[in-house]
Amino acid sequence: MILDHCAKDFELLSIRILRDTGGKAFTEIGLLVQALKLCSEMEADVVSLSAVSSILSDSRLLYDVTLSLSESAVIVGALDNRRFVTVPTSYPHVIGVRSDAARLLLPGELAYNAADPYNAGVYANCDFDYLRENGFSPSNSFAAPVAAAYVNGLLNRGRKKDDIDSMVLTLDPYPGIVTDEFDNYHRPVFPGREIPVVLMSGYSTRECITVMDVLTDAHEAQAAALSLADGEYDVRIRRISGVDVIKNELDFMERHYKTDIVFIVCPRESAESIRQRIEVDVELLRRSGEEVLILYDNVQETVCVSAVPGRLDDILSQSDESDASEEAFA
């Protein structure tokens, strides 16, 4: 209905991957990957995604396939409706879209916020009367086709795909001040439980990614990181500008990243300053060769590099069990 209202001269290739469960619809990430490959085979010009993932480890399956697809198609992705960082929406090669929840735009209007913290900088008003008459409320999933219709219009007017991203940047600035609203819409992933923080001083982001991957594959743990270090980045790692903002950045990550662990990657000289600003549960210190010193609860132990993910899982699991016992005793 939104495309019929907002777009002209288009052919819709509808690829359904969600199962009707009678409530919120879910699917396997592999089906989304297959759908994206099918979009490429069918030579779609615009790909509008309302089916997205807030499971950060899914990025390992989605990044390459969306990057390849973005070479021939414009990808428009909705932000998770609970405002968790979302893949592939938060990728730089995807146009990330969210609903104009504050209703500062007119229905069908778009605006751009370069400072959007989720990299979903296109704001679309999808509060159409015909949607409400059919029982649908505005959402990020309905904002995405509004943006897709805009892209379709540009292509129909002869604009090249490579020009679309720069034209999105020239949309009128979003008129509202976007803040991180901590209301009932934003609840911690684990209510009543703090997400453990692991300080990795002297590590590279590549080494952090390796640890995160092993934690996911071997221990089914989601991980994200804040980093002051140079190096390789992916959607799970959020670059921060300095130690002074680390408390606010950690608060944001705890609310808007679906993660079991938050790593802090920093140069050795920044470690003490970070400890003064936030509570660190475990610290990893690289020694010479393949040894790592692990510090936690007044305990020190040395392990080989390859053993770090397993020991972290053991230490943090024991901490969870201890917290649960104290709570039961209280």
Write out pLDDT tens, residues 58-101: 999 999 999 999 999 999 999 999 899 999 999 999 999 999 99
The closest of 2, 262, 281, 35 to 126, measured between CA atoms, is 2
**pLDDT recorded at residue 185:** 42
Q: How far is CA 72 from CA 27, 40, 69, 128, in A?
A: 26, 8, 6, 31
**pLDDT recorded at residue 3:** 96
**pLDDT recorded at residue 320:** 61
Query: 125: which 2 tokens?
Result: 């008003």
**pLDDT recorded at residue 271:** 94
Entry pTM: 0.87
Residue reference for tokens 């008129």 = 175
Residue 84 to residue 208: CA distance in whole angstroms: 21
Q: What residue spans define the domains of the chain?
A: 2-169, 197-329
Residue type, 260: D
Residues 116-133: tens digit of each pLDDT:
999 999 999 999 999 999
Non-local CB neighbours of 276 within 8 Å, separated by 6+ positions: none
Residues 215-227: tens digit of each pLDDT:
999 999 999 999 9
Residues 98-112: tens digit of each pLDDT:
999 999 999 999 999
Phi first, then psi, for residue 47 (nearest 5°) are -120, 115
Residue 233 to residue 221: CA distance in whole angstroms: 19
Q: Return left, alpha or beta for 48; rule: phi > 0 is left, psi -120 to 50 is alpha, else beta.
A: beta
The closest of 72, 74, 111, 113 to 94, measured between CA atoms, is 74
Residue 319 to residue 50: CA distance in whole angstroms: 38
CA-based max dimension of the chain: 69
